[in-house]
Amino acid sequence: MLEVNNLTAGYGAARAISELAFRVPTAGAVALLGRNGAGKSTTIKSVMGLCDIYDGRITLDGVTLSGQSPDAIARAGVGYVPEDRRVFADLSVMENLETGKKAGADGAVIWTAPKVFDLFPEIARRRDASAGTLSGGERQMLAIARALMGNPRILLLDEPSEGLAPVVVQRLGETLSALAVEGLTLLLAEQNKALARRLANNVVILETGHVVFTGTFDDLDRMPELLERYLSV
Amino acid sequence: MGFFVAQFLTGLASASSLFLVAAGLSIIFGVTRVVNFAHGSLYMIGAFIAYSVASRFGFWIAVPVAAVGAGALGWVMERTVLRHLYKAPELFQLVATFGLVLIIQDAALWLWGPTDLLGPRAPGLSGAIHILDEPIPTYDLFLIAVGLAVLGGVWWMFARTRFGVLVRAATEDREMLQALGVRPDRLFQVTFFIGAALAGLGGALEVPRQTVTLSMDLTIIAEAFVVVVIGGMGSVLGAFLAAVLIAELNAFGILIFPEITLVIAFVVMAVVLIVRPYGLLGKAPQGAHAAVEIQAPAKLGKYGRIGGGLLLVGLLILPLVGSEFAVVLMTDVLIFALMAAGLHFMMGTGGLISFGHAAFFGLGAYGAALLSSKLGFSMWLALAGAPVIAAIGAALIGLFAVRLSGVYLAMLTLAGAQILWSLGVQWQDLTGGDDGILGIWPADSVTGTTAFYYLCFGLSVIAIAAMMAAAGGRFGLLLRATRDNAPRARALGINVGKRRWAAIVIAGMAAGLAGGLYVFSKGSVFPSTLAIPRSVDALVMVLLGGLHAPAGPIIGAGVFTLLEDSLSRLDYWRALLGAFIVAIAISAPGGIGGALSNWVSRAQRQRS
Amino acid sequence: MTVMLEARALRKSFGGLVAVDDVSFTLSRAERVALIGPNGAGKSTCFNLLSGEAAPDTGQIILDGTDISRLAPHVRQRAGLGRTFQIAAVFRSMTVSENVTTALIAAGRSPDNRRALLTEVGLAGLGARLVTDLAYGDIKRVEMAMALAARPKVLLLDEPTAGMAGPERTRIMETAAALADKNGTALLFTEHDMDAVFGFADRILVMDQGRLIADGTPDEIRENTEVKRVYLGDPDA
């Protein structure tokens, strides 16, 4: 279980999120919703150790993550699929997978290159192409595959649907929901409500750096005014 | 035809070692973002180790031992010094590795002595092969093969090994790689070892071709900088292409312009930088550190003003109360304070790092000497010409320099100074080469020690005061704006490039005037006024005095010159200086001036 | 209404990706316009094209009759364009007063105006403080004062409320709006806080996938189905 308690974080003097608290149960999936700038990305980066944490604590299965270096956090079992993908453009698809390769925190190796290629045949076909030549959707698949190569306990996905055509989002949704069904814990930041609902039962809505709603999607359906207020314009 | 082929092959052979050194420098930079000035020292140590091992165990054992030895030394450098500086401003990273240069130089002096060493020929490769009737040394062909083999080997390492893949990934996006669980410290250590080993290998392979000397380190590092700047930092293939280009330019250029071969390299570098600011195969650096610490200049304050007044009075009455020796020494201090003040202005207020301040000092010195000796100018006219000539040089270097920042600027300025230095050595008809220009004496009215002292006092005080006023006034405010935040400055309508250029020209003028005074105080000028140690002296004075202290250059020049005077009699005083530089970079980035102003403000706070 | 800024068919691509695609709009004197859209919609690129950090592949930017499309940022500023940055950009080695003085000198105005300027943005009395000692909201105000020092015809605000908490967001928007009204400056701002957008914009531009998909009053935008779709990501929205 990932636990975020009283988290206040930002970049230098600029504070982006304040006193956040939520949990992601093991094998569960939580979607962070909210308009851009609401603090979703900062929340994900805080878990990954990539921004300044001023206060609060983040733990994964009892192990404290906050205050550790990003590489230690990754080795503790956190997989990261960043905003903008950040695949290594000069490296081939295979080499990108190599950069993510490591045993899980418990020493287990479940994911290998052939297995992630089964999941994403699109990139298997282009295994020797440099990542810089991939399409947006292929890059996103590669970024997910690269994170899986580290055999994570929890996968952080920052805006996976951003900039992708609906049919590609559909395709990603299928694979990610299959992973979720298999028991991979997911925390995703997403503006696309349809994708978020497909992957997660639980939702945390952020607005100007604060949690304004925590509950299930079903709860949210009963409160359409919340959607209107925090997600729409 | 045969002659040109032979010349071409000689060029390729020289390119090999240069490539090995530049490739190591480039790989280390790609991963750690540190430009290792001590990389040339690793090359030199490789040569020394190879010399010693070869004499007992034979050359072919010596080569791998030298590579591993230099690699190990690189690893030790990373663990003891550089790892403390990964988050420091670029200036301190550069300066600390420069401190290491001095330490390693003296260590080599202690271990191997001051005499040049002539190594063995490579057993089995001492003959020559005739190609198109020209004799080509077999060893040259071997070197070419090694260069290509290392290029292939490095390519294989990058393409086929996990380590190579991680290094390439780190060069592209270090933070992302870390977020995938890769430990940066381990990657850094291995990278340093490999890069250093390549330099050591380059040095070892040069043993049969040239004598092993204590000046190998700085000669090769200046060339390696030119190579990586042309090839692109972080690109091994770029380093290879650039090394071949430079070596061939030297091989053929020496036929056409035997006196100014290095100028050709500089022109090529300038052209490449105009077309591709980050080199042939390089990319714009991501997430570069600040060049210097963004910090307000310390205020002179009440105690500072009192101290300054006392200092001025003391300097004024010195000839009345002091010995002649003291007056001569303080003449030096005044000249060096002026030189350092120029660097302090561009580096402190402007954030523009220069490792080639000697270029301006030497231009002023040689300019004044030539005006006086060749054109028969009076001292006064020659002295007026010195800052003008230096300013013209600064304006030219500045044209390229304003496009660059941080480490690129440091490398460019160092390379520029090094090229002027080689002109000073090579262009004998004009500069007299190593014999220098002699007999440059002051005008009759200021010919005595005391009179000349007052001349230096007057000019230095006026020039330093003018720069302090500029730094504290509008010009300084706008210059600081470009240093603190260039995009913000542009958005306010400030022409950042022009401002930086002006700062470099002012720094050049100050150093040029100092150089002019220096010539007339010594009566002669030698290439050493243009050499790297002079640039380092200027840097150390500025850092010692405090980059952000208004009186920094004065304090720094004073303490440095007095220290040098008393310590330089020690055999290994350069190592001591080097250790001192490393210590400042790691633990006292504010220098003496910074410490003083901290101390005063703490005392005032306690009282209130 | 006088048109102060006009973007004509701006286009910018990076590699194969078209970040800004045929974007045209105008900004009138004293008008307050918000530029919104989901992440990756092309707002930042559009902003950079206007401020001069990047040059458009095709299209023009006309500032009060002058074509500034290919001018360097510092020349655009002199033509009457001011801007603030997403992460407040100030001169960190300086006091508040020195920051504003620098901006005034750069604009060719007397430093004596600094007090008035600081008072306008609500920082009276803080002039002697080092800018790094201020709260982030005040740093943003310093930046706004600097951007206003040249009395620009058009002021670009890149996420003016980012990094600030609660009521401070509204206050800084009020400051910006009041100053724009007073000087006749046209404001173009990107913003994530919809309260700020709907509370302060006269007109709203919405971008998605590099294109301008809507341009209208807050009420029109609220009812626009295309806008709802891109914001909620629901095909049925």
Query: Among candidates B604, B503, B603, B591, which has minimal Cα distance to B549?
Result: B591
Query: Among candidates B209, B262, B196, B225, which has minimal Cα distance to B18?
Result: B225
Instruction: Work out the pLDDT band at B299, boundaries 50, 70, 90.
Output: confident
ipTM: 0.95
Instruction: Work out the pLDDT band at B286, boundaries 50, 70, 90.
Output: low
- Number of A/B CB contacts below 8 angstroms equals 62
Instruction: Give the whole-angstrom CA distance, residue A161 versus residue A146.
Output: 17
Residue C227 tokens, joined: 């806008």
pLDDT at position C34: 95
Q: Which of A132-141, B339-348, B596-605, C174-183 has the highest mean pLDDT?
A: B339-348
Q: C27 or B442, which is more confident?
A: C27
Q: What is the mean pLDDT of residues B413-442?
A: 86
Summarised one tens digit per residue, pLDDT across range B339-390 is 999 999 999 999 998 989 999 999 999 999 999 998 989 999 999 999 999 9
CA angle (B493, B499, B501) in 5-degree steps = 145
Instruction: Give the whole-angstrom CA distance, residue B45 versus residue B68.
Output: 11
Given a cut of 60, whether residue B288 has pLDDT beyond it is no
In this structure, which amino acid lies at residue A90? D
Kindly determine whether residue C107 and residue B485, on different chains, have CB atoms separated by under 8 Å: no
C91 within a domain of the structure (yes/no)? no
Chain A CB within 8 Å of residue C166 CB: yes
b/e per residue A152-163 (b: at least 16 CB within 10 A): bbbbbbbbbbbb
Instruction: Give the whole-angstrom CA distance, residue A228 versus residue B269.
Output: 59
Q: Which residues does chain B have within 8 Å of residue C77's beta carbon, measured at their own beta carbons?
A: 490-493
Summarised one tens digit per residue, pLDDT across range B161-175 is 999 999 989 888 889
C117 within a domain of the structure (yes/no)? no
Question: Is residue B38 within 8 Å of residue B101, measured between CB atoms?
Answer: yes
Kindly determine whether residue B178 and residue A150, on different chains, have CB atoms separated by under 8 Å: no
Which run of H or of E encompasses B429? helix B428-431
Residues 6+ apart with CB under 8 A from B91: B291, B292, B347, B353, B547
Instruction: Give the whole-angstrom CA distance, residue B14 versus residue A107.
Output: 50
**CATH number, residue C216:** 3.40.50.300
Q: What is the mean pLDDT of residues B563-589?
A: 85
Mean pLDDT of chain C: 89
B-interface mutation test, from A71, A151, A154, most B Cβ less than 10 A away: A71
Sheet holding A63-64, edge to edge: A14-24, A2-11, A52-60, A63-64
The DSSP code for A201 is S
pLDDT at position B469: 93
Q: What is the mean pLDDT of residues C133-143?
A: 90
Kindly determine whether residue B296 and residue C130, on different chains, have CB atoms separated by under 8 Å: yes
Kindly determine whether residue B175 and residue A146, on different chains, have CB atoms separated by under 8 Å: no
CA angle (B67, B71, B73) in 5-degree steps = 120
Q: Which residues does chain A have within 8 Å of residue C191's beta carbon, measured at their own beta carbons?
A: 37
Helix (H, G, I), strand (E, B) or coil at A31: strand
Given a cut of 70, whether residue B287 has pLDDT beyond it is no
C32 within a domain of the structure (yes/no)? yes
pLDDT at position C222: 87
Least confident residue range of B292-301, B302-311, C188-197: B292-301
C36 within a domain of the structure (yes/no)? yes
Number of folded domains that form chain C: 1
pLDDT at position A189: 93
Given a cut of 90, whether residue B412 has pLDDT beyond it is no
Interface of A with C in 145-184 (CB under 8 A): 159, 161-163, 166
Token match 């007992």: residue? B56
Q: Which chains touch C (3 or more CB pairs under 8 A)?
A: A, B
A-interface mutation test, from C136, C208, C231, C236, most A Cβ less than 10 A away: C231
Name the residue range of residue C224's domain: 1-74+187-237
**Contacts by B140-148, CB closer than 8 A, 24 or more apart:** B140/B9, B140/B10, B140/B12, B140/B13, B141/B9, B141/B13, B143/B12, B143/B13, B143/B16, B143/B17, B143/B205, B143/B209, B144/B9, B144/B12, B144/B13, B144/B16, B146/B16, B146/B205, B147/B12, B147/B15, B147/B16, B147/B19, B147/B20, B147/B240
Kindly determine whether residue B184 and residue A150, on different chains, have CB atoms separated by under 8 Å: no
Residues 6+ apart with CB under 8 A from C36: A233, C43, C190, C191, C192, C197, C204, C205, C206, C207
Percentage of chain B lying above the pLDDT 70 cut: 98
C3 within a domain of the structure (yes/no)? yes
Question: Is residue A86 within 8 Å of residue B217, measured between CB atoms?
Answer: no
Chain A CB within 8 Å of residue C214 CB: no
Summarised one tens digit per residue, pLDDT across range B454-504 is 999 999 999 999 999 999 999 999 999 999 999 999 999 999 999 999 999
Q: What is the mean pLDDT of residues C81-104?
A: 93
Sign (positive or negative) of CA dihedral A158, A164, A169, A172:
negative
Sign (positive or negative) of CA dihedral B292, B295, B297, B298:
negative
Instruction: Give the whole-angstrom CA distance, residue B301 versus residue B174.
Output: 44
How many CA within 13 A on the CB side of residue C186?
A: 20
Instruction: Give the whole-angstrom CA distance, residue B403 versus residue B508.
Output: 18
Q: B448 or C61, which is more confident?
A: C61
Cβ neighbours, 10 Å, residue C87? 17
Of A90, A91, A99, the CB nearest to B180: A99
Helix (H, G, I), strand (E, B) or coil at B357: coil
pLDDT at position B265: 76
Q: Which chains touch B (3 or more CB pairs under 8 A)?
A: A, C
Q: What is the chain A residue with the closest CA to C224? A: A233
Which run of H or of E encompasses B354? none
Task: Let me know if B408 is exposed, middle or buried by CB neighbors in 10 A (0-12, 13-18, 19+).
Answer: buried
Given a cut of 80, whether residue C20 has pLDDT beyond it is yes
Query: Among candidates B81, B79, B105, which has minimal Cα distance to B94?
Result: B81
C199 within a domain of the structure (yes/no)? yes
Interface of B with C in 263-302 (CB under 8 A): 294-297
pLDDT at position B131: 81
Q: What is the mean pLDDT of residues B329-336?
A: 95
Residues 6+ apart with CB under 8 A from B111: B48
Cβ neighbours, 10 Å, residue A52? 16
C138 within a domain of the structure (yes/no)? no
Question: Is residue C23 within 8 Å of residue C9, measured between CB atoms?
Answer: yes
Question: Is residue B386 within 8 Å of residue B515, measured between CB atoms?
Answer: yes
Query: Among candidates B328, B366, B263, B336, which has minimal Cα distance to B536?
Result: B336
Summarised one tens digit per residue, pLDDT across range B521-547 is 999 999 999 998 899 889 989 988 888
Mean pLDDT of chain B: 89
Helix (H, G, I), strand (E, B) or coil at A233: coil
Summarised one tens digit per residue, pLDDT across range B229-271 is 889 888 889 999 999 998 888 888 877 776 666 677 777 887 8
Kindly determine whether residue C146 and residue B478, on different chains, have CB atoms separated by under 8 Å: no
The DSSP code for C209 is T
Domains of chain A in sequence order:
1-67+187-233 (3.40.50.300)
Query: Among candidates B136, B430, B426, which has minimal Cα distance to B254?
Result: B426
Instruction: Give the whole-angstrom CA distance, residue B463 versus residue B515.
Output: 13
Mean pLDDT of chain A: 91
pLDDT at position B1: 73
Pairing of strands C154-158, A185-189: unpaired
Summarised one tens digit per residue, pLDDT across range A93-130 is 999 999 999 999 888 899 999 999 999 999 999 999 99
Backbone angles phi, psi at A17, to 5 degrees: -135, 150
Q: What is the chain A residue with the closest CA to B173? A: A88
Instruction: Give the whole-angstrom CA distance, residue B147 versus residue B77.
Output: 26
Sign (positive or negative) of CA dihedral C115, C119, C122, C125:
positive
Question: Is residue B536 within 8 Å of residue B582, measured between CB atoms?
Answer: no
Question: Is residue A87 within 8 Å of residue A129, measured between CB atoms?
Answer: no
Alpha helices in B138-280 (DSSP H): 138-160, 162-172, 174-179, 184-206, 216-231, 236-256, 261-275
Sign (positive or negative) of CA dihedral B326, B327, B329, B330:
positive
Least confident residue range of B312-326, B409-423, B510-524: B409-423
Task: Let me know if C16 is exposed, middle or buried by CB neighbors in 10 A (0-12, 13-18, 19+).
Answer: exposed
Kindly determine whether residue B294 and residue C72, on different chains, have CB atoms separated by under 8 Å: no
Instruction: Give the whole-angstrom CA distance, residue B395 versus residue B506.
Output: 9
Instruction: Work out the pLDDT band at A233, boundaries 50, 70, 90.
Output: low
Question: Is residue A176 within 8 Å of residue A5, measured between CB atoms?
Answer: no
Question: Is residue B331 within 8 Å of residue B456, measured between CB atoms?
Answer: yes
pLDDT at position C237: 44
b/e per residue B522-550 (b: at least 16 CB within 10 A): bebbbbbbbbbebbbbbbbbbbbbbbbbb
Domains of chain B in sequence order:
2-275 (1.10.3470), 326-565 (no CATH)
Backbone angles phi, psi at B429, to 5 degrees: -55, -40
Instruction: Give the whole-angstrom CA distance, residue B343 versus residue B349.
Output: 10
pLDDT at position A76: 95
pLDDT at position B581: 86
C139 within a domain of the structure (yes/no)? no
Instruction: Work out the pLDDT band at C232, boundaries 50, 70, 90.
Output: low
Backbone angles phi, psi at A4, to 5 degrees: -115, 120
Residue A101 tokens, joined: 């390769």
- Longest Cα–Cα distance of chain C, Å, equals 58
Q: B529 or B589, which is more confident?
A: B529
